[in-house]
Amino acid sequence: MKWRFDIHRNKHIVMYHGIDEFGNTKYNTRYICVKNFEEQILLFKKKFKIQYLSDLFEERKKSEVPLLSITFDDGFKNNFKYALPILEKYKIPATFFVTALNEVKQPYIWVDLFDILTANYDKTIEFLGVKYKPDKVGRDMLRKVLINYNEINYREKNYFLNTLLTETGNSITDRQDLKDYWELMSDDDIQEVGNSKYVKIGSHGYWHNSLRNMPYENAVKELRDSKKYLEKLVPYKIDSISYPYGRYTRKLLNDAEKLGYKYQLAVRFLYKRDKYDGRIRERYGAEPTISNDQLMQGILNR
């Protein structure tokens, strides 16, 4: 794909994570309630020409109407439960980016488990010999450490999380009121989305690791293995990747392209050259704390 500066003009991508019934931000501060999501979809229909992600990347004609693609990260079950019916109701194209955690029978993305477990945690937490206070600042600091801590086998991080899960005595899998905040789409759900006329599946890495903060060969392996896993479930080639946490390297862009990832997404560009590169685009995140007018302005200004 050629590098052209104007390839980004008048093209926009919005990023969602979770949808729930009531907009509860206690366990995840990025969730949009289903009512607000439907309102936003109707607003987008009035203001944008909504396109499939591939069409937005490949569009070369100048459009007087701003173009928009809708994306979801993480592969939550709530995307399937709440967002998919609305998207199909209004015939709106979108992309759900999912991990391969089902393949290793890990039922959650670790960061969501961490957020739920520490929501009411009142003890000092220790990780790798460093103690963190149980207040919001301490938990946020530890969260950043965990995101950046990617060893080859991840044993220390997984051991810590399992210890925390045991210590809290809180079985999140048994609480129905928490399922929307951690449960991932099943293989059957992914297959059903893969057969949808409007929603496509893309890769969100294998383990949901920061691919910038791990041995390079492991990052490439994650891209290769997640693609292989997803292509067993959907009737088309996986050609899009949303980098977990928005972390990537310029070198990784090249190898991702070689593996067949034609459309690559960040949160924000990490390198100056990215804005000239037609293979990658940045996105604007839809947050529950902003109004729909602010959301529109944020999308148009990104």
Question: In the chain, what are the domain boundaries?
Answer: 5-105+183-301, 110-176
Query: What average pLDDT does the chain have?
Result: 91
* The predicted structure's pLDDT at residue 291: 93
> How many angstroms separate the Cα of 32 from the Cα of each of 89, 169, 173, 199, 257?
18, 29, 22, 19, 32
Residue 82 has pLDDT above 70, yes or no: yes
* The predicted structure's pLDDT at residue 4: 46
Mean pLDDT of 208-218: 91
CA-angle at 229, arms to 156 and 76, nearest 5°:
70
Residue 5 has pLDDT above 50, yes or no: no
Closest among 215, 182, 164 to 106, alpha carbons compared: 182
69: left (phi over 0), alpha (psi -120 to 50) or beta: beta
* pLDDT tens profile 18-71: 999 988 888 888 999 999 999 999 999 999 999 999 999 998 887 789 999 999
* pLDDT tens profile 169-206: 767 778 888 899 999 999 999 999 999 999 999 999 99
User: Band of the pLDDT at 143, cuts 50, 70, 90?
Assistant: confident
Closest among 43, 74, 46, 54 to 11, alpha carbons compared: 54
User: Band of the pLDDT at 7, cuts 50, 70, 90?
Assistant: low
Listing DSSP states for 216-271 in one string gives HHHHHHHHHHHHHHHTTTSSS---EEE-GGG---HHHHHHHHHTT--EEE-SS--S
Residue 10 has pLDDT above 80, yes or no: yes
Strands 199-203 and 130-132, bridge-based pairing: unpaired
Closest among 162, 157, 133 to 145, alpha carbons compared: 157
* The predicted structure's pLDDT at residue 269: 96
Residue 217 has pLDDT above 60, yes or no: yes
Mean pLDDT of 76-96: 98
Percentage of residues of the chain with pLDDT beyond 90 = 67
Mean pLDDT of 235-244: 98
Tally of residues, the chain: 302
Element of type H or E holding 137? helix 136-148
Mean pLDDT of 199-222: 94
Out of 85-94, 174-183, 251-260, which region has the weakest mean confidence (pLDDT)?
Answer: 174-183
User: Band of the pLDDT at 101, cuts 50, 70, 90?
Assistant: very high
Q: What one-character DSSP code corresponds to residue 193?
A: H
Residue 3 has pLDDT above 50, yes or no: no
Higher-pLDDT residue of 125 and 265 is 265
Strands 130-132 and 240-242, bridge-based pairing: unpaired
Q: Is the pTM for the entire model greater than 0.85? A: yes
Task: Estimate the crossing angle of helix 155-168 against helix 110-117, to 10 degrees.
Answer: 30
The answer regarding whether domain 5-105+183-301 maps to CATH 1.10.3720.10 reads no
